[in-house]
Structure 1
């Protein structure tokens, strides 16, 4: 066996992915699933009256589902240049009583497409509970921080205040959309079933001497054998690659959400307002010992970008299928489908880790607010002066001059914003001096942000989580 350090391995599996998702796309599961598909086909064909299929054949196949001779299969494929037929032969050697009936009436896509649909379904069943867990921890973070005022940004320029929790609710809303999209893909997923070489079921019609009912029953029985609610009613040789496009679109959309969240965290880390977790012995830079780089968030952006690019791949594949099928999808999908799920799995785990361990720095947030709030409060001060009997235009001019001078202190001299000190020192503003603390309370500038978060969680988040209350994700370790 080759030293794994001397051959390329995808870092998605070797470096980052969870054990369960990596196993789902492994050769061990893939080829064992192929054998289960052959067993299902033979079992159902025998049930419908094909007496050439013996119980001994079924028993021998059942005894050799997972003990696969990979070396023999590889040698057979080298000779035949056909992976499915190589494994038909290898399975027949292991179960000689079944050698003549394995794959009876089927085409290769009975094995490849149906196995891929099984792996996709199982991968979704691994991913969805993890996404639910991410929504739970994001919900808790949003609620815990719903009332903490922070400076909002538009165009990454200081804007009106919001709250830390309200900003998190924007992330949360996109995650809800992703959960709905991915769950809908899972609910829509069907089996290819038993359709034959060009989807006409002609080989099975011949096998059952023209009995249409038995052919339909065979399709239903094999589909039910693998716990799919139904098969796609019509196919070519393959199930339509539009299914893959639908799937990758949902996963790629989640990639965009993840990239947006992680980018915001990276920007907040630069502002020193919020940080992702960091281990005691973690090194941020090999040269600059003081650095605390947002490594997890950067990785989410990196892999989220990869996940997004896979959508266009699925678009190209769906668009270029000729008539009943062409084989230029095969090698492509061997890469695209596993990578999409491995990447999504890694990104979810990292986001859970980031949100659960996120550190918020209220004093830094307050200091930044203090730099900008005096300018934002000027309209409130003008209105308070008018209520105290002042002239609106005169007050506006006094505020304008004071704001200009305060801005010059900040921009030209790097000094703190002293606008409020200037207002306190100006006898003109004496009627509102005792109101300034109240007029400058950050909580009075966040509008309904705290209430919006609570209402959003109660009306949208919690009901959706309730529909997934049995979705339990295992421990999500962030590797490397």
Structure 2
């Protein structure tokens, strides 16, 4: 109990991300994976004729799950040897004495450390992808529901031509679809990037010696281990490690997703500031310790914060890759122990937030209409001008009439804080009498949203539908994400 409260806890671990993602990068999963890789190596070497007994294989397979007591054994040995892999070779050998002499035969430390890391990257991507698909599905339902609800569009932070609430959500969906594609592409490429068995400098010299110069057997060993590990193929040429360029590409995809999170969260925060849209707010939730009335968008603020952190991991990966020397240097080790897990934990936390927010966004229709009413008269002036021109009036003369009235109405709004009275001013001018009867149609918000509803429908029924096909089983079980804090 003292360790929990007296020792720094990474908030990604203690507050933000899921248990399943935390397990992927946990010590237990790491060392279990190392042991499984040693089993794959021994089985493959035995299959190719090396003298490894059935008992050795049997004992190795019986102890692939590290026992709690073995963590301490390995820690004592690592302190003595200053080498984590050899400490676990020793510990595994105690559990499987018949195999103690052949564990790690011909391999270098990166056989287990790097192949395990690639496994974790694959498994972590497999956790993220269906979660992202679930968010896209929920936002698509939201977009369809509100596909024809007009609202103010904003360009340059200023009111612009009307869109719809659903059309705006379609922008978020489009970017998240790109993230889904990026992560899928990254995962698919990873399947042909296994390190396999390459030896200390990537020459496979140790394995060539074990197999008495038989190149075919060395290549076959690489293939067997790769297949047993669940990868499609291994890189032909590596150094002692897999290329840290792989980390760059994986984290680029995650960082790109992080920028989407900050963008989406920022949009919702702006709309919450306008009181048009709100994230879910629980019955007993407190928005401010001082101002009891407040409903702060804390989920989206957290989403922006974690998204910002996520998109900055790419720099760590790029600099680590470019700083590698020749066949390898160890200055990548400490930073990768931080960057790889934390980037995935951060992405996982962002997806939990997106799930939670998209499951219960509140649309304040009355406020949206109020804001439309305040700005629509200005936007309707082009329609009025066109209607007057159709009746033979000069466009320039009509434009000047409306310009003068618009500035007068604008002054009333901005300097007196009163409602926009432009339409009343137009109705009071004899000049506009020919179109007065048409004003209700000329200022109908539905006529200003263009193809917004159709665009949402087309996006959801084509790109979204196609993208989510492979996740149908997982999407049947999507649940509301419960945030810890």
Query: Structure 2 matches for 1:27-42, cutoff 5 A?
Result: 27-42=27-42
Give the whole-Å Cα distance in 2 for the aligned partners of 1:477 and 1:101: 47
- Please state if 1:92 is matched with 2:93: yes
SS, match of residue 158 in structure 1? strand
The structural deviation recorded for 1:119 is 0.9
Query: Structure 2 matches for 1:427-442, cutoff 5 A?
Result: 427-442=430-445
Q: 8 Å contact 1:275–1:359 — kept in the other structure?
A: yes
Deviates more, 1:157-166 or 1:106-115: 157-166
Q: Which residue matches 1:234?
A: 237
Give the whole-Å Cα distance in 2 for the aligned partners of 1:175 and 1:401: 45
Give the whole-Å Cα distance in 1 for the aligned partners of 2:469 and 2:45: 42
Q: Which residue matches 2:293?
A: 290
Query: Structure 2 matches for 1:333-344, cutoff 5 A?
Result: 333-344=336-347
Q: Which residue matches 1:177?
A: 178
Q: Which residue matches 1:130?
A: 131
Instruction: Select 2:482's aligned residue among 474, 477, 480.
Output: 477
SS, match of residue 162 in structure 2? strand
Q: 8 Å contact 1:18–1:477 — kept in the other structure?
A: no
Query: Structure 2 matches for 1:52-451, cutoff 5 A?
Result: 53-68=52-67, 69-189=70-190, 190-451=193-454
The structural deviation recorded for 1:80 is 0.9
Give the whole-Å Cα distance in 1 for the aligned partners of 2:389 and 2:156: 33
Query: Which digits, 9 at most, give the CA deviation of each residue in 1:108-156, with x for residues without a partner?
Result: 0000000111111111111100011111111111111111111111111
Count of residues paired in the alignment:
479
Deviates more, 1:388-397 or 1:95-104: 388-397
Q: 8 Å contact 2:17–2:346 — kept in the other structure?
A: yes
Query: Which digits, 9 at most, give the CA deviation of each residue in 1:55-83, with x for residues without a partner?
Result: 11111222222233111111111111111
Query: Which digits, 9 at most, give the CA deviation of each residue in 1:261-280, with x for residues without a partner?
Result: 00000000000000000110
SS, match of residue 152 in structure 1? strand
Q: Which residue matches 1:46?
A: 46
The structural deviation recorded for 1:371 is 1.0
Deviates more, 1:35-44 or 1:427-436: 427-436
TM-score (norm 1): 0.97
What RMSD, in angstroms, separates the aligned Cα atoms of the two structures? 1.3
Give the whole-Å Cα distance in 2 for the aligned partners of 1:43 and 1:11: 41
Give the whole-Å Cα distance in 1 for the aligned partners of 2:218 and 2:320: 30
Give the whole-Å Cα distance in 2 for the aligned partners of 1:176 and 1:400: 43
The structural deviation recorded for 1:163 is 1.0
SS, match of residue 471 in structure 2? coil
Q: Which residue matches 1:12?
A: 12
Deviates more, 1:9-18 or 1:265-274: 9-18
Give the whole-Å Cα distance in 1 for the aligned partners of 2:21 and 2:109: 25
The structural deviation recorded for 1:389 is 3.9
Query: Which digits, 9 at most, give the CA deviation of each residue in 1:437-467, with x for residues without a partner?
Result: 1100011111111111212222322112224
Q: 8 Å contact 2:28–2:66 — kept in the other structure?
A: no
Q: 8 Å contact 1:178–1:254 — kept in the other structure?
A: yes
TM-score (norm 2): 0.96
Query: Which digits, 9 at most, give the CA deviation of each residue in 1:198-253, with x for residues without a partner?
Result: 11110000011111111111111111111111111110001111100000000000
Give the whole-Å Cα distance in 1 for the aligned partners of 2:156 and 2:478: 39
Give the whole-Å Cα distance in 1 for the aligned partners of 2:396 and 2:194: 73
The structural deviation recorded for 1:159 is 1.1
The structural deviation recorded for 1:425 is 2.0
Give the whole-Å Cα distance in 1 for the aligned partners of 2:320 and 2:97: 39
Q: 8 Å contact 2:85–2:109 — kept in the other structure?
A: yes
Give the whole-Å Cα distance in 1 for the aligned partners of 2:5 and 2:460: 48
The unaligned stretches of length 5 or more in structure 1 are none
Give the whole-Å Cα distance in 1 for the aligned partners of 2:116 and 2:231: 12
Query: Which digits, 9 at most, give the CA deviation of each residue in 1:87-111, with x for residues without a partner?
Result: 1111111111111111110000000
Q: 8 Å contact 1:259–1:300 — kept in the other structure?
A: yes
Deviates more, 1:442-451 or 1:201-210: 442-451
Instruction: Give the direction of change, closer, same or farther, for the CA distance of 1:144–1:474 in structure 2 (3 Å limit).
Output: closer
Give the whole-Å Cα distance in 2 for the aligned partners of 1:404 and 1:216: 79
The structural deviation recorded for 1:395 is 2.4
Q: 8 Å contact 2:129–2:184 — kept in the other structure?
A: yes
Give the whole-Å Cα distance in 1 for the aligned partners of 2:224 and 2:468: 34
Give the whole-Å Cα distance in 2 for the aligned partners of 1:394 and 1:294: 48
SS, match of residue 167 in structure 2? helix
Deviates more, 1:316-325 or 1:461-470: 461-470
Query: Which digits, 9 at most, give the CA deviation of each residue in 1:166-224, with x for residues without a partner?
Result: 11111111111100100001001131101110111100000111111111111111111
The unaligned stretches of length 5 or more in structure 2 are none
